[in-house]
């Protein structure tokens, strides 16, 4: 028999690949942090031996959820300025608070709080866009979660940099530092078309092409963004990005609530990926992303929570369910985004959009063991006819019992293994007192 590191035996194993498959009484075998086998549980004893065999008799094991767009350290601004329109929210509340309070310590404490919340709700990878991306990257790596740090670019000064050239200079230095970090990768992250002018966008295109880096940008998020672009550039933002040659497989477009059919065709033709943030879009009244039209055109789509300041949580299970329900309402079709497809875009879709599909996003042999166990014995999940439907439509984050990233268990029986939650919450309370003073 082959000695291995870990065997996990759930009642239901939902690999996402192949599609719509739910394996009952199968086990997943992990060695050196990667999945090396998936086989019937009753065949394990003749094949493998291990000192760590975790039996989850009431659980579904799914790929770790991927939060494809967030601003992690904004968890410290959760509830700071609720029920505002986006530009009012940004101009009069969020940006002034950032200028006053955002420091490396703010980022580290906010990211740790966000990671604690995400892990406890089954997220194993997140794509971030915020200031001090170096601090975010170090914190994620220290805590063992998979992350993508956005090399933020803006035209105006912030606590991180004074102008677009400095943002890019610092971003490239961080990209070089991350070359040998296993769990943390990077995207180029121009904030939005209304905050980044043409010259920096042209430099971002050059770097993206040269380094094969994704470009992560808020795009067609609000009607105000479209109006700003028409006034200042004489064209809609997607047309502007097309003229700048930024539309392509490396572009990751977030929100897309204000988009016309011909623009969807254009994005699809160029291989652009999208990130859908339904709850944030609804809370800020930004509009509805026509998700089914994107999927029908073959676009790669992931799901993101956006930041906790505009959501107000980082709960990907809840975001996935909202995406599935909203897709039906927007399309007026109850067959839109069925449960298996919702789970796919919340896992493998995000991995594909971020260029990580070779290593995560599904439970397949040779991928990293990024996985989440959900206890389906709760009364809200009973009776159980279809485990995939129950994961999407009834399961809550309180039912997430165990989480692994690259084979390392970061949540064990509902408890964080690498984060001192009392200390984390104490620091968050300290920031609340400062910001609210």
Contact partners, residue 116, CB within 8 Å, separation at least 6:
416, 419, 421, 424
337 CB-near residues (< 8 Å, 6+ apart): 291, 292, 295, 323, 324, 327, 328, 345
Give the CA-trace dihedral at 25, 28, 29, 31, to 10 degrees: -160
Nearest to 404, CA basis, from 395, 413, 392, 396: 413
- According to the model, what pLDDT value does residue 371 have? 98
- Residue 55: CB atoms within 10 Å: 12
Confidence of residue 436 (pLDDT cuts 50, 70, 90): confident
Q: What is the mean pLDDT of the chain?
A: 96
Q: List the one residue out of 368, 363, 385 whose CA is nearest residue 376.
A: 385
The C-alpha atoms of residue 123 and residue 405 are separated, in whole angstroms, by: 9
CA distance 62 to 194: 38
3-state helix, strand, coil in the chain (%, to 5): 40, 25, 35
Beta strands per DSSP E along 298-435: 301-303, 371-375, 400-405, 408-412, 415-416
Could you tell me where the beta strands, DSSP code E, fall in 73-159? 123-129, 146-153
Over residues 88-118, the pLDDT tens digits come to: 888 899 889 998 999 999 999 999 999 999 9
Triad 88, 191, 309: Cα angle to 5°:
45
Higher pLDDT, 257 or 2: 257
Poorest-pLDDT segment among 17-21, 82-86, 109-113: 82-86
Task: Please check the confidence at residue 2 and state whether its pLDDT lies above 80.
Answer: no
Query: Does residue 323 contact residue 301 with C-beta atoms inside 8 Å?
Result: no
Residue 238 pLDDT exceeds 80: yes
In this predicted model, what pLDDT tens digit does every residue of 189-230 receive, in sequence order?
A: 999 999 999 999 999 999 999 999 999 999 999 999 999 999
Cα-based angle 279, 282, 285 (whole degrees, multiple of 5) = 150
The residues with which 47 forms a beta bridge, in sequence order, are none
Short-list 99, 12, 23, 14, CA closest to 65: 14
User: Model confidence at 86, in pLDDT bands (50, 70, 90)?
Assistant: confident
Indicate the SS3 state at residue 219: strand
- What residues pair up with 387 in beta bridges, in sequence order? none
Q: How far apart are CA 83 and CA 283, in angstroms?
A: 7
pLDDT attached to residue 3: 85
Q: What is the structure's pLDDT at 75?
A: 97
**Distance between CA atoms of residues 155 and 168, nearest Å:** 11
pLDDT tens, residue by residue, 362-406: 999 999 999 999 999 999 999 999 999 999 999 999 999 999 999
Model pLDDT, residue 89: 85
- For residue 60, report the phi and psi dihedrals to the nearest 5 degrees: -100, 135
pLDDT above 90 as % of the chain: 94
Contact between residue 359 and residue 365 where contact means Cβ atoms under 8 Å apart: no
Distance CA 243, CA 251 (A): 14
Q: How far is CA 75 from CA 170, 255, 324, in A?
A: 24, 20, 25
Q: How confident is the model at residue 87 (pLDDT cuts 50, 70, 90)?
A: confident
According to the model, what pLDDT value does residue 324 have? 98
1, pLDDT greater than 80 = no
Residue 428: the pLDDT is 97
What is the C-alpha separation between 25 and 9, in angstroms, rounded? Answer: 7
| Predicted pLDDT at 84 | 85
Helix H, strand E, coil C: the string for 344-368 is HHHHHHHHHHCCCCCCCCCCCCCCE
Q: Classify 269 as helix, strand or coil.
A: helix
Q: How far is CA 164 from the centre of its chain?
A: 25
Domains of the chain: 2-63+370-406 (2.30.40.10), 65-353 (3.20.20.140)
Q: Are 113 and 430 in contact (CB under 8 A)?
A: no
């Amino acid at each position: 028999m082959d000695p291995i590191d870990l065997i996990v035996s759930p009642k239901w194993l939902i690999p996402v690949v192949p599609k719509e498959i739910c394996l009952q009484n199968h086990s997943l075998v992990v060695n050196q942090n990667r999945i090396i086998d998936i086989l019937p549980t009753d065949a394990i004893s003749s094949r493998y031996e291990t000192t760590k065999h975790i039996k989850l008799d009431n659980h579904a094991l799914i790929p770790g959820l991927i939060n494809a767009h967030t601003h992690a350290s904004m968890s410290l601004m959760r509830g700071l300025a609720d029920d505002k329109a986006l530009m009012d929210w940004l101009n009069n509340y969020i940006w002034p608070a950032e200028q006053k309070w955002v420091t490396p310590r703010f980022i580290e404490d906010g990211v740790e709080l966000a990671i604690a919340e995400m892990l406890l709700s089954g997220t194993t990878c997140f794509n971030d866009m915020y200031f001090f991306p170096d601090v975010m990257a170090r914190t994620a790596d220290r805590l063992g979660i998979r992350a993508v740090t956005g090399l933020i670019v803006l035209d105006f000064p912030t606590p991180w940099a004074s102008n677009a050239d400095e943002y890019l200079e610092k971003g490239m230095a961080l990209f070089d530092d991350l070359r040998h970090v296993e769990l943390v990768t990077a995207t180029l992250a121009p904030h939005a078309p209304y905050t980044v002018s043409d010259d920096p966008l042209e430099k971002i295109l050059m770097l993206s092409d040269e380094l094969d880096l994704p470009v992560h940008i808020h795009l067609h998020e609000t009607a105000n963004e479209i109006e700003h672009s028409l006034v200042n550039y004489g064209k809609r933002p997607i047309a502007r990005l097309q003229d700048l040659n930024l539309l392509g497989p490396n572009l990751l477009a977030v929100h897309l609530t204000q988009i016309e059919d011909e623009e969807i065709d254009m994005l699809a033709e160029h291989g652009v990926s999208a990130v859908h943030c339904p709850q944030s879009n609804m809370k800020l009244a930004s509009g509805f992303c026509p998700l089914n039209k994107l999927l029908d055109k073959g676009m790669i789509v992931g799901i993101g929570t956006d930041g906790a300041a505009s959501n107000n949580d980082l709960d990907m299970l809840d975001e996935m369910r909202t995406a599935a329900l909203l897709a039906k309402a927007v399309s007026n079709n109850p067959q839109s985004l069925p449960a298996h497809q919702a789970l796919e875009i919340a896992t493998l879709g995000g991995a594909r959009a971020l260029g990580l599909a070779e290593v995560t996003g599904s439970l397949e042999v040779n991928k990293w063991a990024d996985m989440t166990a959900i206890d389906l014995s709760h009364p809200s999940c009973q009776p159980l006819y279809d485990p995939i439907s129950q994961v999407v439509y009834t399961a809550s984050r309180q039912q997430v019992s165990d989480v692994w990233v690259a084979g390392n268990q970061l949540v064990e029986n509902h408890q964080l293994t690498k984060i001192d939650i009392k200390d984390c919450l104490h620091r968050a309370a300290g920031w609340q007192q400062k910001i609210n003073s």
